[in-house]
């Protein structure tokens, strides 16, 4: 869910700015995307990363890089579109499902690849960092989903200040 989270955060951050200042934000967004993709590309080009590892961490990294570029595209497009068309929302949420699947695969492969820390050190540790990023973003969406369910079951629970004054 890391890639979906990045595009989601960029979308909401762009909505805080007036439309006239969103071009500056997009320059910052592309710079941030370069900062996120650069370590991935660096590890991919390292000769040590192509050594044998019993888990396909290198293939997983390639898929992760592809999704990073897709997330950058979604982030830029979402900051440009106002309002966002329904078909684009559906595509973005389908991208979220793919991103969740990729994060799950990254985490499971990293858990099973402890021996790869000796043969492909950079690849293993990058995979470990990306796994934690996926886990933390999944926790964010889990908390957000729970708050959404609470708001649907008890609509005025958060908004009603009388509940908070009695505490």
Euclidean distance between CA atoms 43 and 93, whole angstroms = 29
pLDDT at 164: 54
- Please answer whether residues 93 and 69 qualify as being in contact, where contact means their C-beta atoms are separated by less than 8 angstroms: no
Mean confidence (pLDDT) of the chain: 86
pLDDT in tens, 62-84: 999 999 999 999 998 888 888 88
> Residue 49 pLDDT > 80, yes or no?
no
- Output the CA–CA distances (angstroms, integers) from residue 68 to 30, 31, 47, 86, 149, in the order listed: 12, 13, 22, 23, 30
- Count up the domains in the chain and report the number: 1
Q: Coil, strand or helix: which one is 114?
A: coil
pLDDT bin (cut points 50, 70, 90) of residue 163 is low
Report the phi/psi class of residue 94: left, alpha or beta, with left for phi > 0 and alpha for psi in -120 to 50. Answer: alpha
pLDDT at 139: 95
The mean per-residue pLDDT over the stretch 17-37 comes to 83
User: In the numeric block, which tokens belong to residue 130?
Assistant: 């990306």
% of the chain beyond a pLDDT of 70: 93
% of the chain beyond a pLDDT of 90: 40
Give the CA-trace dihedral at 78, 13, 129, 133, to 10 degrees. -80
pLDDT at 65: 93
Q: Residue 81 is part of which domain span?
A: 2-165
């Amino acid at each position: 869910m890391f890639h979906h989270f990045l595009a989601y955060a960029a979308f909401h951050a762009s909505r805080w700015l007036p439309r006239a200042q969103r071009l500056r934000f997009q320059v910052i967004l592309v710079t941030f995307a370069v900062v996120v993709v650069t370590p991935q590309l660096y590890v991919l080009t390292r000769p040590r990363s192509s050594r044998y590892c019993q888990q396909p961490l290198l293939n997983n990294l390639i898929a992760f890089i592809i999704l990073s570029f897709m997330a950058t595209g979604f982030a830029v497009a979402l900051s440009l579109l106002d309002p966002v068309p329904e078909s684009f929302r559906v595509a973005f949420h389908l991208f979220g499902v793919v991103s969740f699947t990729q994060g799950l695969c990254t985490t499971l492969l990293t858990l099973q690849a402890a021996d790869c820390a000796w043969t492909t050190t950079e690849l293993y540790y990058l995979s470990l960092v990306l796994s934690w990023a996926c886990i933390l973003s999944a926790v964010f969406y889990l908390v957000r989903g729970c708050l959404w369910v609470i708001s649907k079951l008890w609509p005025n629970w958060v908004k009603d200040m009388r509940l908070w004054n009695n505490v």
